[in-house]
Amino acid sequence: MKNEPAHREKAEFDSYAAGYSAGMENPVKRIFGNTIESFIGIRIRWLFEYLKKDPFPRELPPENIRLLDFGCGTGESLQVLHKMGFAGRVEGCDISECMITEAVKRWQCGPVPSLHLIKEDGKINSPDDSYDVIMVSCVFHHIDRSKYGEIFAELKRVLKPGGRLVLFEHNPINPLTKWIVSRTYVDRNAVLVKAGVIEKMLSMAGFENVRTQYLLFFPPRLRWKLIEKLESSLWWLPLGGQYVVSAKK
Ligand SMILES: C[S@@+](CC[C@H](N)C(=O)[O-])C[C@H]1O[C@@H](n2cnc3c(N)ncnc32)[C@H](O)[C@@H]1O
């Protein structure tokens, strides 16, 4: 990966965009969750709990919360946010033009939100202090580690003071996650990253309250309340299929 050109990821996801299914073509993944929304739903439920436990000040009503999905891909996470009742204003950005074009085609939740292309120099097309929440879901294992620092600095630039960064990733400590990723076509160049590496780099970038929790202990197709409760009682346990690192600016 080391000698790849800066925009290797762009070319890579441009070629996956048309039939992109987030790895759902993998039969083992389909045993655990019948739709991509079922996997995303676990992450969005965590986000809602996180914002409930540590709410924004009253001066920021829910409908004014501005959220950016960095590496939004074909926009499924933004659609699930919408369907699960997120009241705020959402936007997405991605390095792949074809993924954004596909996101616009697939959008089914009313007016298409602003979905912007990351600039050639890696800058997000937004002024400083723009967003209250930045969500990053399954993006960093597609990025060369040498670029993490500059991307974290850029995420910090566009986050408002007091804004939250939530970064979801596959957990390399979980053997099943590693096995599925190793057999998923779009992940053939993926390099999984441990939560500790992300934590350390976010702290170095000047983020505060950097914390990790773990998700995906049960197959997302089991959508019973009891399973949801059990799942949230295990968020401390480093064995989940995915993890989420949260931080504040
Ligand atoms: C596996 S997809 C995840 C899409 C979406 N976040 C989701 O969870 O469904 C990874 C996405 O990250 C994007 N990506 C890769 N490198 C990126 C970078 N440096 N900046 C922004 N997006 C990037 C890819 O183009 C692709 O759309």
Q: pLDDT, tens digit, for every residue of 49-98?
A: 999 999 998 889 999 999 999 999 999 999 999 999 999 999 999 999 99
Tell which atom from ligand 1 comes closest to the C-alpha of 17.
27
- Please tell me if the CB atom of residue 96 comes closer than 6 angstroms to any atom of ligand 1: yes
Average pLDDT over residues 206-223: 90
233 Cα–ligand 1 center, Å: 29
57 Cα–ligand 1 center, Å: 31
Predicted local confidence at residue 217, as pLDDT: 92
The whole model's pTM is what?
0.92
- Please tell me if the CB atom of residue 143 comes closer than 6 angstroms to any atom of ligand 1: yes
By C-alpha distance, which of 222, 240, 231 is closest to 175?
Answer: 240
- Please tell me if the CB atom of residue 139 comes closer than 6 angstroms to any atom of ligand 1: yes
Task: Indicate which residue's Cα is closest to atom 27 of ligand 1.
Answer: 73
- Please tell me if the CB atom of residue 169 comes closer than 6 angstroms to any atom of ligand 1: no
Predicted local confidence at residue 11, as pLDDT: 66
- Please tell me if the CB atom of residue 91 comes closer than 6 angstroms to any atom of ligand 1: no
Asked whether residue 193 carries a pLDDT value surpassing 80, the answer given is: yes
- Domains of the chain listed by start with CATH number: 8-248 (3.40.50.150)
